[in-house]
């Protein structure tokens, strides 16, 4: 298989995915998984050009990712929440984004990639 075919076979080839996560080890693991699947990693500076995003709900003690989720939603950029929060703590999130995917931490890398692929295909 030549390099072009190998790149084309990667499920996230050519897609820019942003990871918003406050735990550096979780963030590095997610980004590594996405890179292996062919994605480019976006940051908040790339907010206008990302194709999808993975958001942690809580970003430190006093912050959450809801403002970023609102902006992504406004721009019609698909996103999912990757969180360790309990269902009870996610009620506000569910009321704002009832159809949004929520993946519980920890998740297998294949589940993360499949969920992002689904986002990009409107599932």
pTM score? 0.86
- Three-state secondary structure along 27-95? HHHHHHHHHHCCCEEECHHHCCCCCEEEECCECCCCCECHHHHHHHHHCCCCEEEEECCCCHHHHHHHH
For 4-15, how does the pLDDT look when each residue is reduced to its tens digit (9 = 90+)?
A: 444 458 999 999
Domains present along the chain, CATH in parentheses: 41-123 (3.40.50.2300)
Residues 64-118 have pLDDT tens digits of 788 889 899 999 999 999 988 777 778 877 888 888 888 988 999 999 999 999 9
Comparison of pLDDT for 23 and 64, the residue scoring more: 23
């Amino acid at each position: 298989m030549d390099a072009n075919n190998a790149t084309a076979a990667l499920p996230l080839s050519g897609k820019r995915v942003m990871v918003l996560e406050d735990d550096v080890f979780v963030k590095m693991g997610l980004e590594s998984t996405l890179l292996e699947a062919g994605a480019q990693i976006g940051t908040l500076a790339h907010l206008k050009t990302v194709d999808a995003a993975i958001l942690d709900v809580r970003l430190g003690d006093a912050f959450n990712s809801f403002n970023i989720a609102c902006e992504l939603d406004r721009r019609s950029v698909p996103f999912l929440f990757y969180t360790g929060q309990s269902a009870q703590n996610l009620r506000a999130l569910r009321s704002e984004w009832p159809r949004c995917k929520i993946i519980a931490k920890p998740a297998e890398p294949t589940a993360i990639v499949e969920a992002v692929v689904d986002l990009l295909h409107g599932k």
